[in-house]
Amino acid sequence: MSDIVVAVDGPAGSGKSSVSREAARRLGFAYLDTGAAYRALAWHCLDEGVDVEDATEVAERVAAFDYAIGMQPDHYFVRVGGEDITPDIREPRVTAVVSAVARVPEVRAGLTALFRRLIAEASEPGVIVEGRDITTVVAPDAAVRVLLTASPEARMARRSAELSAVSAEATAQQLASRDAQDSRVVDFMNAADGVTTLDSTDLDFEHTVQALIDIVRAGA
Ligand code: C5P
């Protein structure tokens, strides 16, 4: 079992995946991207022709969901049924339906159990786990718990910088709508008791990674 569990939550576009992964790499920790599992299940549902709005059909897919993730920051992959779908889970068609899949209670229960198993099996000396409900549901007893936030403007600007002007506006709308849908299921906008808020609005990537590492070293 990993000695130190670091739980990181935050909204879409807060940079929590890239920041958590880089911090894990520098600390020699394992890294668990929980959003990747929700995305992989959404991809699997689309692949199998499951109606993602049909909670019963989606719930039926969870029990037999054959999922594997690479938890070393330098060897990251996502597989379903042995097929490598690492780039596919970021496709807009998957992003568009992932919130519908993630709000099904059986999905949340099944994936939470999976995450707890993966955390228990993670390599030493520690693991950074990032998502929406890690500090509150998946690992509320984690040694270090962080809410990584940024103003909506900063989050939109970061996403837009990666895209053309035409798609930037549509993406900003999707980001806001995904956060609104996800917020109905879990609160990742407000820090729970004992959770440290790291606001990256005025920090660049390097300073945010360093700030997270400082929090881990102070709290572990
Ligand atoms: O982090 P990422 O944006 O890849 O997450 C994709 C989706 O997975 C989120 O929009 C949310 O619906 C779901 N998710 C979740 N709980 C988590 C992580 C992700 O519901 N812990």
Contact 24, 125 (CB under 8 A): no
User: Which pLDDT score, from 0 to 100, does residue 165 have?
Assistant: 59
ipTM of the complex: 0.98
Q: How far is the CA of 61 from the centre of ligand 1 (A)?
A: 18
For the segment 82-86, the average pLDDT, to the nearest whole number, is 97
14 in Cβ contact with 155 (< 8 Å):
yes
d(CA 80, CA 92): 18
What residue numbers bound the domain in which 174 lies?
A: 4-219
pLDDT digits (tens, 9 = 90+) for 126-175: 999 999 999 999 999 999 999 999 998 888 888 777 666 557 777 778 88
Indicate the number of domains in the chain: 1
- pTM (two decimals): 0.94
Ligand 1 site: residues with CB under 6 angstroms? Answer: 12, 34-35, 38-39, 98-99, 102, 131-134, 178, 182
What CATH number did the domain enclosing 153 receive?
3.40.50.300
